[in-house]
C-alpha cells in the first residue's frame, strides 16, 4: 500500500511567471520535450559537480537519458541517472515554481551558469501543455535518501508518496492528453530529440538506439579539427546542399561566452537573403532557426550554428536588437568574418578568387550596411577585369547573370584576372584618369567590351545582382571624383577618330557625307525618339567593328532602372535611345553608295530605295539585338525583314 507523505498546493509566484497551468507558457507545445531533456542533462551535470566536490563517494555510472513510450497507458517517460531529488528538494524545486534549482547549485558549488543548461525558465512545467497528469519518481544520491513519487494533474494540487525506484536519478512520466497523442508516436519523439537535443553532451536512447548525435563540433578546439570534419558537419546540418566555400570558427569567453561555426554557402539567384538559416543554440540545446536579431543583416545568408547562454531568451524579439550584449555579439561576429576574409585574401588568393562570386555578395552588402565592416574589407573587394598582365594565373570558373534568369557557368575566355578598384584607377590614370568603364552583362555587352579592349581600354565586370542599383552608387559616394560609365552608355573619345565623312560631298546642299548617312537612316527607321549620331570608330580592320551601336546614356538609364525597381516591375527598354552609325564601316559605305542610285518612281519607292531602307532597318535590328533580346513580335518582324533582304540579295 502506498504511503501518502503529504498533500498540498504548489506555491506559484504569479508576479514572476506566466499562468503556466493554463498552457500559455510556449507557443509550440513540442518545446516540452526539449525542456525535460534539458533538465535531465542538468541533473547529470549536477551529479558530476557534486562528485568533484566529494559529496558523492560512489563511482558515477555512464551518463544516459532514456525516453520511452507506452501507447496502451498513453504515457511518455524521460529518465536520467543524474543527481536525483530528496523530499525537501522536490518541495523546494518543484512545488515552489518560481525558484530555480540551477541557480541554487551555482551558489552552492561556485560554478558558472554556463555549466548548466537551465536557461529556459520554467522547464518542468511545460509538460502540462501536453499531459493531463505528470509524475516524478526520483532518488537522490545523498546518503540515506529515500525514493519519492510526486504527482499532479495540472491543478495547483500535488501529492507526495513513496516510490519503488532503487537507483539514483529521476523519471518524469507524462500521461498524454487525448488531443496530444502525436507525442506517443516514436518517429515524432525521435524527430524532436534530433531537432532540439541532438548535440547535448549526454546520450539519449530509445530502446537500444542512441537518437542524438551528442558531439557538438563548435565546442571543439579548431586545432583538433580537419577540413573534412567541418564539411561532414555542414552536410549533416544541410543535407543535399553543395559544400560550403569556407567557414569561420567562433570561440570566445570574454566579454560574453560564444561558440559557433559559420559557413559561407554557394549562393543562387533564388536565395532569399533576408531569411537566415543559422541555428541558435543555448549550451548545445537548439533554440531557434531565426537569428535575425542577433546576426548582422548582411550576414543572414550564412549558415551554421551560434551557441551562447548570454543571449537573453526571455525578452521580446524587438528588444533583442537593442540589447547591449546582443549588439556586442553582432559586432564580434562581423569582425571575425572580416578577419577570416582578410587572412584568406593574404594567404590563399586563389581560393579567395574562386569563392568571390558568392562571397562577394556578403562583402559588398556588408560594406553597404556596416561602416566598421567596410573598413575591414574595402581593400578586399575585387572585380573581374579585361586587363592582361605579363603572367596571369589560371582563372577559375565564375558564375555570371546571363540576363535570362538562368545562371550559367562560364570561363574567363581571355584569362581575365581580378583586380581591386584602387589598382584599376592607378593602372589607368594616364589613359582615363578618374574614370571607370564597366560591364554588367558579359554576354549582351560583348560587342561593346570588344570595342574597348581593341583600343587597349580596361573594363571591369560588375555583374552581380547587387552591383547595378546598390554598389556602384555606393562606390560613387566613396570616390566622389570618379565617374562610372557602362560600356554601352557612351563612346569615349579614345574610341572615335576624326571622321572623313564630315567632308562636304554635295556642293548644292552643302551637306557632308555624315549628314547624308544620318538622313538615310532617319528616313528608313522612321522613329523620331531615336537619336541617330554618326561617328567613325577606331580600328585596324573596320570589318571587326560594328556598323552601328545602340547606346543608353548613363544617367537616364540609371533613373529608369531605379524607378522600375521601386515600382517592383521589370525595366522596359527606353524608346528614347541613341543609335551610333559607324561611318567607317564598309557596310555603311555600301548603303551610302546604294542610296546614290536610288530614284523615286511615280508609284513610290524604287527597288533600290526599298533595299536601302531594308538594309538600314537591318543594321538597326542587329545593333538593338546586341543590347537586348527581342520579344516575340519583334523577332517575327526581324525574321521577316531578314528573309526579305536575303531574297533581294540573291535575286538575279
**Total Cβ atoms within 10 A of residue 195:** 14
pLDDT for the residue 269: 56
Sheet holding 577-582, edge to edge: 496-497, 530-537, 577-582, 548-551
Cα gap 352→347, rounded to integer Å: 9
Phi (first) and psi of residue 429, to 5 degrees: -65, -25
Strand boundaries in 71-156, DSSP class E? 75-80, 131-139, 148-152
pLDDT for the residue 119: 41
For residue range 61-108, list pLDDT tens digits in order.
Answer: 999 999 999 999 999 999 999 999 999 999 888 876 544 444 554 555
Cα gap 126→204, rounded to integer Å: 20
- Residue among 270, 296, 276 nearest 365 (CA): 296
Please report the DSSP string for 433-495 in residue order: TTEEEEES-TTTTHHHHHHHHHTT---EE--STTIIIIIHHHHHHHSTT-EEEETTT---GGG
* β-pairing verdict for 530-537 and 577-582: parallel
Helix, strand, coil fractions of the chain, as percent rounded to 5:
40, 20, 40
**602 preceded by cis ω (within 30°)?**
no
pLDDT for the residue 129: 84
pLDDT for the residue 436: 94
**Total Cβ atoms within 10 A of residue 614:** 17
- Residue among 301, 293, 294 nearest 274 (CA): 301
Indicate the pTM of the whole model.
0.78
**Total Cβ atoms within 10 A of residue 460:** 23
- Residue among 31, 318, 71 nearest 175 (CA): 71
**Cβ(561)–Cβ(468) under 8 Å?**
yes
* β-pairing verdict for 460-461 and 382-385: antiparallel
**Cβ(189)–Cβ(67) under 8 Å?**
yes
Mean pLDDT by 10 residues, the chain (652 residues): 66 44 59 92 93 88 97 97 93 66 52 45 77 95 93 84 95 96 97 96 96 95 96 94 93 92 80 74 88 83 91 62 82 93 93 89 90 94 85 43 35 62 92 90 88 90 85 92 91 79 66 89 92 88 85 82 75 84 92 79 71 92 87 89 86 67
Cα gap 321→295, rounded to integer Å: 10
- Residue among 528, 534, 562 nearest 548 (CA): 534
Query: Please, which residues have CB within 8 angstroms of residue 568's CB and are 6 or more apart in sequence?
Result: none
Query: Please, which residues have CB within 8 angstroms of residue 550's CB and are 6 or more apart in sequence?
Result: 488, 577, 578, 579, 580, 623, 624, 626, 627
Amino acid at each position: 500500500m502506498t504511503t501518502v507523505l503529504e498533500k498540498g498546493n504548489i506555491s506559484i509566484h504569479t508576479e514572476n511567471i506566466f499562468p503556466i497551468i493554463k498552457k500559455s507558457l510556449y507557443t509550440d507545445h513540442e518545446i516540452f520535450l526539449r525542456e525535460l531533456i534539458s533538465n535531465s542533462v542538468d541533473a547529470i551535470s549536477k551529479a558530476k559537480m557534486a562528485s568533484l566536490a566529494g559529496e558523492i563517494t560512489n563511482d558515477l555510472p555512464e551518463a544516459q537519458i532514456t525516453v520511452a513510450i507506452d501507447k496502451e497507458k498513453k504515457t511518455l517517460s524521460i529518465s536520467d541517472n543524474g543527481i536525483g531529488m530528496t523530499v525537501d528538494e522536490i518541495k523546494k524545486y518543484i512545488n515552489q515554481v518560481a525558484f530555480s534549482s540551477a541557480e541554487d547549485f551555482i551558489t552552492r558549488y561556485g560554478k558558472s551558469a554556463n555549466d548548466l543548461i537551465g536557461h529556459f525558465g520554467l522547464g518542468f512545467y511545460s509538460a502540462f501543455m501536453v499531459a493531463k497528469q505528470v509524475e516524478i519518481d526520483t532518488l537522490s544520491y545523498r546518503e540515506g535518501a529515500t525514493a519519492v513519487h510526486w504527482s499532479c494533474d495540472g491543478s495547483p494540487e500535488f501529492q507526495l508518496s513513496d516510490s519503488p525506484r532503487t537507483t539514483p536519478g529521476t523519471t518524469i512520466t507524462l500521461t498524454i492528453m487525448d488531443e496530444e497523442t502525436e507525442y506517443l508516436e516514436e518517429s515524432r519523439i525521435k524527430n524532436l530529440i534530433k531537432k532540439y537535443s541532438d548535440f547535448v553532451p549526454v546520450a539519449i536512447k530509445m530502446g537500444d538506439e542512441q537518437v542524438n548525435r551528442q558531439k557538438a563540433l563548435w565546442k571543439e578546439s579548431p586545432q583538433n579539427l580537419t577540413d573534412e570534419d567541418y564539411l561532414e558537419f555542414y552536410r549533416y546540418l544541410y543535407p543535399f546542399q553543395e559544400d560550403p566555400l569556407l567557414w569561420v570558427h567562433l570561440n570566445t569567453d570574454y566579454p560574453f561566452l560564444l561558440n559557433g561555426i559559420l559557413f559561407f554557402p554557394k549562393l543562387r539567384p533564388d536565395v532569399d537573403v533576408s531569411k537566415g538559416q543559422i541555428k541558435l543554440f543555448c549550451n548545445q540545446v537548439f533554440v531557434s532557426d531565426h537569428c535575425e536579431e542577433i546576426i548582422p543583416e548582411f550576414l543572414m545568408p550564412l549558415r551554421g550554428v551560434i551557441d551562447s547562454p548570454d543571449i537573453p531568451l526571455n525578452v521580446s524579439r524587438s528588444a533583442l536588437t537593442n540589447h547591449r550584449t546582443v549588439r556586442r555579439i553582432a559586432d564580434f561576429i562581423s569582425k571575425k568574418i572580416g578577419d577570416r576574409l582578410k587572412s584568406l585574401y593574404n594567404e590563399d588568393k586563389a581560393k579567395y578568387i574562386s569563392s568571390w562570386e558568392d562571397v562577394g555578395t556578403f562583402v559588398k552588402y556588408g560594406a553597404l550596411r556596416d561602416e566598421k565592416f567596410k573598413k575591414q574589407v574595402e581593400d578586399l573587394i575585387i572585380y573581374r577585369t579585361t586587363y592582361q598582365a605579363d603572367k596571369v594565373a589560371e582563372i577559375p570558373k565564375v558564375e555570371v547573370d546571363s540576363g535570362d534568369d538562368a545562371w550559367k557557368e562560364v570561363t574567363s575566355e581571355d584569362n581575365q584576372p581580378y583586380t581591386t578598384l584602387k589598382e584599376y584607377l592607378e593602372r589607368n590614370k594616364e589613359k582615363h584618369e578618374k574614370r571607370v568603364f564597366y560591364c554588367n552583362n558579359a554576354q549582351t555587352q560583348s560587342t561593346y567590351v570588344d570595342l574597348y579592349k581593341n583600343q587597349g581600354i580596361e573594363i571591369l565586370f560588375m555583374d552581380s545582382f547587387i552591383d547595378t542599383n546598390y554598389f556602384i552608387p555606393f562606390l560613387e559616394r566613396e570616390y566622389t571624383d570618379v565617374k562610372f560609365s557602362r560600356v554601352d552608355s557612351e563612346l569615349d573619345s579614345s574610341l572615335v577618330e576624326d571622321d572623313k565623312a564630315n567632308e562636304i560631298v554635295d556642293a548644292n546642299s552643302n551637306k557632308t557625307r555624315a549628314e547624308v548617312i544620318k538622313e538615310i537612316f532617319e528616313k528608313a527607321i522612321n522613329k523620331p525618339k531615336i537619336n541617330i549620331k554618326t561617328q567613325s570608330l577606331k580600328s585596324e580592320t573596320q570589318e571587326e567593328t560594328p556598323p552601328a551601336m545602340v547606346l543608353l546614356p548613363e544617367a537616364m538609364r540609371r533613373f529608369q532602372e531605379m524607378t522600375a525597381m521601386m515600382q517592383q516591375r521589370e525595366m522596359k527598354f527606353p524608346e528614347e535611345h541613341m543609335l551610333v552609325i559607324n561611318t567607317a564601316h564598309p557596310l555603311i559605305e555600301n548603303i551610302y553608295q546604294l542610296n546614290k542610285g536610288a530614284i523615286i518612281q511615280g508609284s513610290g519607292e524604287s527597288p533600290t530605295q526599298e533595299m536601302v531602307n531594308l538594309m538600314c532597318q537591318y543594321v538597326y535590328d542587329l545593333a538593338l539585338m546586341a543590347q537586348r533580346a527581342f520579344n516575340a513580335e519583334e523577332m517575327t518582324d526581324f525574321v521577316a525583314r531578314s528573309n526579305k533582304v536575303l531574297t533581294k540579295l540573291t535575286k538575279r
